[in-house]
Amino acid sequence: MPGFDYLPRRLRRRRRAKEEKMTFVVTDNCRKCRFTDCVAVCPVDCFHADEEMLYIDPDECIDCGACVPECPVEAIYDESQLPDEHREWIAVNADKSKKLPVINETGDAFPGAEERKKQLGF
Ligand code: SF4
Ligand code: F3S
Protein backbone atom coordinates (compact mmCIF):
# COMPACT_ATOMS: atom_id res chain seq x y z
CA MET A 1 0.00 0.00 0.00
CA PRO A 2 1.39 3.43 -0.95
CA GLY A 3 0.66 4.90 2.49
CA PHE A 4 2.79 2.33 4.28
CA ASP A 5 5.62 2.74 1.76
CA TYR A 6 5.75 6.50 2.20
CA LEU A 7 6.25 6.66 5.94
CA PRO A 8 9.28 4.38 6.25
CA ARG A 9 10.98 6.13 3.30
CA ARG A 10 10.47 9.48 4.94
CA LEU A 11 11.84 8.21 8.23
CA ARG A 12 14.83 6.71 6.46
CA ARG A 13 15.56 10.03 4.78
CA ARG A 14 15.33 11.84 8.09
CA ARG A 15 17.67 9.40 9.78
CA ARG A 16 20.16 9.67 6.93
CA ALA A 17 20.07 13.49 7.10
CA LYS A 18 20.85 13.38 10.83
CA GLU A 19 23.71 10.94 10.35
CA GLU A 20 25.22 13.08 7.60
CA LYS A 21 24.99 16.36 9.50
CA MET A 22 28.46 17.66 10.24
CA THR A 23 29.50 20.16 12.82
CA PHE A 24 32.43 22.31 13.82
CA VAL A 25 34.64 21.40 16.72
CA VAL A 26 36.73 23.40 19.19
CA THR A 27 40.01 21.73 20.03
CA ASP A 28 42.81 22.01 22.56
CA ASN A 29 44.35 25.26 21.29
CA CYS A 30 41.42 27.19 22.75
CA ARG A 31 42.39 26.06 26.24
CA LYS A 32 43.91 28.90 28.27
CA CYS A 33 43.34 31.32 25.37
CA ARG A 34 39.60 31.82 24.94
CA PHE A 35 39.96 34.77 22.59
CA THR A 36 36.20 34.60 21.80
CA ASP A 37 36.60 36.08 18.30
CA CYS A 38 34.62 33.05 17.18
CA VAL A 39 31.62 34.06 19.25
CA ALA A 40 31.47 37.47 17.56
CA VAL A 41 30.74 35.96 14.15
CA CYS A 42 28.59 32.97 15.07
CA PRO A 43 25.03 33.56 13.83
CA VAL A 44 23.49 31.19 16.35
CA ASP A 45 23.96 30.42 20.05
CA CYS A 46 26.09 27.32 19.76
CA PHE A 47 29.15 28.26 21.81
CA HIS A 48 29.32 27.21 25.45
CA ALA A 49 32.07 28.01 27.91
CA ASP A 50 33.77 26.78 31.02
CA GLU A 51 36.71 28.28 32.86
CA GLU A 52 39.16 26.86 30.30
CA MET A 53 37.74 27.01 26.80
CA LEU A 54 34.72 26.98 24.50
CA TYR A 55 32.72 24.10 23.04
CA ILE A 56 30.31 23.97 20.10
CA ASP A 57 26.89 22.38 20.42
CA PRO A 58 26.63 20.14 17.33
CA ASP A 59 22.84 20.36 17.38
CA GLU A 60 22.87 24.15 17.22
CA CYS A 61 25.78 24.68 14.83
CA ILE A 62 24.51 25.44 11.33
CA ASP A 63 27.88 24.59 9.76
CA CYS A 64 28.44 28.06 8.33
CA GLY A 65 32.21 27.95 8.92
CA ALA A 66 32.42 31.64 9.88
CA CYS A 67 34.23 30.94 13.15
CA VAL A 68 37.16 29.00 11.68
CA PRO A 69 39.21 31.90 10.21
CA GLU A 70 38.47 34.11 13.21
CA CYS A 71 40.31 32.04 15.79
CA PRO A 72 43.84 33.41 16.30
CA VAL A 73 45.13 29.98 17.35
CA GLU A 74 43.24 27.88 14.76
CA ALA A 75 41.41 25.91 17.41
CA ILE A 76 38.25 25.29 15.37
CA TYR A 77 37.87 22.64 12.69
CA ASP A 78 35.21 21.45 10.34
CA GLU A 79 34.50 17.97 11.68
CA SER A 80 35.20 16.49 8.26
CA GLN A 81 38.71 18.00 8.29
CA LEU A 82 39.57 17.20 11.88
CA PRO A 83 43.03 15.63 12.17
CA ASP A 84 42.98 12.14 13.68
CA GLU A 85 44.70 13.29 16.86
CA HIS A 86 41.77 15.62 17.54
CA ARG A 87 38.91 13.13 16.97
CA GLU A 88 38.23 12.90 20.69
CA TRP A 89 37.12 16.55 20.67
CA ILE A 90 33.94 15.70 18.77
CA ALA A 91 32.54 13.89 21.80
CA VAL A 92 33.98 16.44 24.24
CA ASN A 93 32.23 19.32 22.43
CA ALA A 94 28.95 17.41 22.23
CA ASP A 95 29.06 16.49 25.90
CA LYS A 96 30.36 19.72 27.46
CA SER A 97 28.19 22.03 25.37
CA LYS A 98 25.06 20.41 26.79
CA LYS A 99 26.17 21.04 30.36
CA LEU A 100 27.61 24.54 30.17
CA PRO A 101 26.07 27.99 29.70
CA VAL A 102 25.86 29.66 26.31
CA ILE A 103 28.40 32.36 25.58
CA ASN A 104 27.17 34.79 22.94
CA GLU A 105 29.23 37.87 23.68
CA THR A 106 32.92 38.37 23.26
CA GLY A 107 35.07 38.89 26.32
CA ASP A 108 38.66 39.39 27.36
CA ALA A 109 41.00 36.55 26.55
CA PHE A 110 42.59 34.84 29.50
CA PRO A 111 45.63 36.46 31.09
CA GLY A 112 48.57 34.81 29.39
CA ALA A 113 46.62 34.12 26.20
CA GLU A 114 49.07 36.06 24.05
CA GLU A 115 51.95 34.11 25.56
CA ARG A 116 50.20 30.81 24.92
CA LYS A 117 49.44 31.92 21.38
CA LYS A 118 53.18 32.42 20.81
CA GLN A 119 53.91 29.02 22.34
CA LEU A 120 51.43 27.48 19.95
CA GLY A 121 53.30 29.05 17.05
CA PHE A 122 50.91 31.82 16.05
FE1 SF4 B 1 28.76 29.07 14.80
FE2 SF4 B 1 28.99 28.76 12.16
FE3 SF4 B 1 31.05 28.21 13.75
FE4 SF4 B 1 28.88 26.61 13.77
S5 SF4 B 1 30.31 26.93 12.06
S6 SF4 B 1 30.02 27.37 15.55
S7 SF4 B 1 27.26 28.13 13.42
S8 SF4 B 1 30.13 30.24 13.41
FE1 F3S C 1 38.80 29.70 21.59
FE2 F3S C 1 39.66 30.55 19.29
FE3 F3S C 1 37.19 30.99 19.98
S4 F3S C 1 40.78 30.61 21.20
S5 F3S C 1 37.30 31.19 22.17
S6 F3S C 1 38.10 29.01 19.63
S7 F3S C 1 38.52 32.42 18.93
In sequence order, what DSSP letters do the residues of the chain get, joined into one string?
A: -HHHHHHHHHHHHHHHHHHH---EEE-GGGTTT---HHHHH-SSS-EEE-SS-EEE-TTT-----TTGGG-TT--EEEGGG--GGGTHHHHHHHHHHHHS-B--S--PPPTTHHHHHHHTT-
Pick from 47, 64, 68, 80 the residue to mutate for probing ligand 1's pocket: most ligand atoms within 8 Å of its CB. 64
25 within ligand 2 shell (Cβ under 6 A): no
Q: What class, spelled out in words, does domain 20-119 have in CATH?
A: alpha beta
Q: Which listed ligand is nearest to 41 at the C-alpha?
A: 1
9 has a pLDDT exceeding 90: no
pLDDT tens-place string over residues 61-99: 999 999 999 999 999 999 999 999 999 999 999 999 999
pLDDT tens-place string over residues 18-69: 456 789 999 999 999 999 999 999 999 999 999 999 999 999 999 999 999 9
| Span between the terminal Cα atoms of the chain, in Å | 62
Residue 4 has what pLDDT? 46
Domain-by-domain residue ranges, the chain? Answer: 20-119
38 within ligand 2 shell (Cβ under 6 A): yes
The rounded Å distance from CA 114 to ligand 2 centre is: 12
Share of the chain above pLDDT 70, in %: 84
Q: What is the pTM of this model?
A: 0.85
